Amino acid sequence: MLNIQTRQEGNASVVTIQGKVNFEVTAQLRDVIRDTVTTHQPKLLVINLEGVSFIDSSGLGLLVAARNSVDKNNGKLHLCCLPAQVKKTFDQTNLTNYFSIFASEQDALRGA
Amino acid sequence: MSKGVVLVVDDEAQIRDILSFYLKRSGYQVLIAENGARAMAEMAKAQPDLILSDLRMPEMSGDELCRRVKGDPATRDTYFVLVSAMDGSASKIGGLNLGADDMIAKPFHAQEVLAKVESAFRIIAMQKEIKRQNQELTRFRERVTAELALAASLQMGLLPTVPGSLPGFRYTHRYLPAEGIGGDIYTILPLPEGGLALMLADVSGHGVTAALISAMVKTSFESQVRLGGGPLDWAQGMNRYLALNTLAEQFATAFLARLDPVQSEMRYVVAGHEAPFRLPGGARGGLHRPEPLTGQGFMLGIDEGLPFSERTAPMQRGDRLILYTDGLVEVEREDRRLLGAEGLIKVCAELPADADAAADRIIEAARDFNEPAPFTDDVTLVLLDQVD
- What would the pLDDT profile of B114-164 be if each residue is shown by its tens digit? 999 999 999 999 999 999 999 999 999 999 999 999 999 999 899 999 889
Do residues B103 and B81 lie in contact, with contact meaning Cβ atoms separated by under 8 Å?
yes
Contacts of A57 in chain B (CB under 8 A): 202-205, 253, 326
Q: A53 CA to chain B: closest CA distance, Å?
A: 9
The confidence score (pLDDT) of residue B56 equals 84
Kindly state the average pLDDT of the residues A90-103: 89
Structural domains present in chain A: 3-110 (3.30.750.24)
B1 vs A: CB within 8 A: no
B92 falls in which pLDDT band (50, 70, 90)?
low
Question: Is residue B93 scored above 70 in pLDDT?
Answer: no
Nearest partner of B111 among B11, B30, B19, judged by Cα: B19
**Can you give the pLDDT at residue B90?**
47
Mutate to test the interface with B, among A34, A54, A57, A71 (most CBs of B within 10 A): A57
Residue B258 touches chain A, beta carbons under 8 Å = no
Q: Which of B75-89, B101-115, B139-153, B273-287 has the lowest mean pLDDT?
A: B75-89
Whole-angstrom distance, CA of residue B31 vs CA of residue B29: 7
CATH assignment of B159-386, given 3.40.630.30, 1.20.1330.10, 1.20.1250.20, 3.60.40.10? 3.60.40.10
- What secondary structure letter does DSSP report for B332? P
| CA–CA gap between residue B99 and residue B76 (Å, rounded) | 9
> Hey, where are the domains in chain B?
5-132, 159-386
Span B206-244, pLDDT tens digits: 788 899 999 999 999 999 999 999 999 999 999 999 999
The answer to whether ipTM exceeds 0.85 is no
**B269: nearest Cα among B234, B305, B241:** B234
Window 23-62 of A: residues touching B by CB (8 A cutoff) are: 23, 26, 53-54, 56-58, 60-62
Strands B277-279 and B350-351: unpaired
Chain A residue with CA closest to B338: the answer is A85
> Quick one: average pLDDT of B167-174?
95
B94 or B199, which is more confident? Answer: B199
Instruction: Note the pLDDT of residue B237.
Output: 96
Q: Judge whether A64 is closer than 8 Å to chain B, CB to CB.
A: yes
Start-to-end Cα distance in chain B: 84
- Asked if B5-132 and B159-386 have one fold, the answer is no
Ranges B199-203, B223-227, B251-255, B369-373: which has the least confidence: B369-373
Residue B88 has pLDDT above 60, yes or no: no
- Which of A83-87, B258-262, B330-334, B374-378 comes out lowest in average pLDDT? B330-334
Among A96, A98, A110, A6, residue whose Cα is nearest residue A48: A6
What tens digit of pLDDT does each residue of A11-40 get?
A: 899 999 999 998 788 889 999 999 999 999
Contact B302 A92 (CB under 8 A): no
Please tell me the CATH superfamily of domain B5-132, with its number: Response regulator (3.40.50.2300)
CB contact under 8 A, A57 and B274: no
User: With an 8 Å Cβ cutoff, are B248 and A54 in contact?
Assistant: no
Nearest residue in A to B275, CA atom: A92
Chain B nearest-CA distance from A9, in A, is 27
User: B336 exposed, middle or buried (CB, 10 Å; 0-12, 13-18, 19+)?
Assistant: exposed
- Using DSSP, state whether A58 is helix, strand or coil: helix
> Which residue type sits at B373?
A
B300 contacts in chain A (CB < 8 Å): none
Q: What is the pLDDT of residue B42?
A: 93
- What is the pTM for the complete model shown? 0.75
Residue A26 confidence (pLDDT): 86
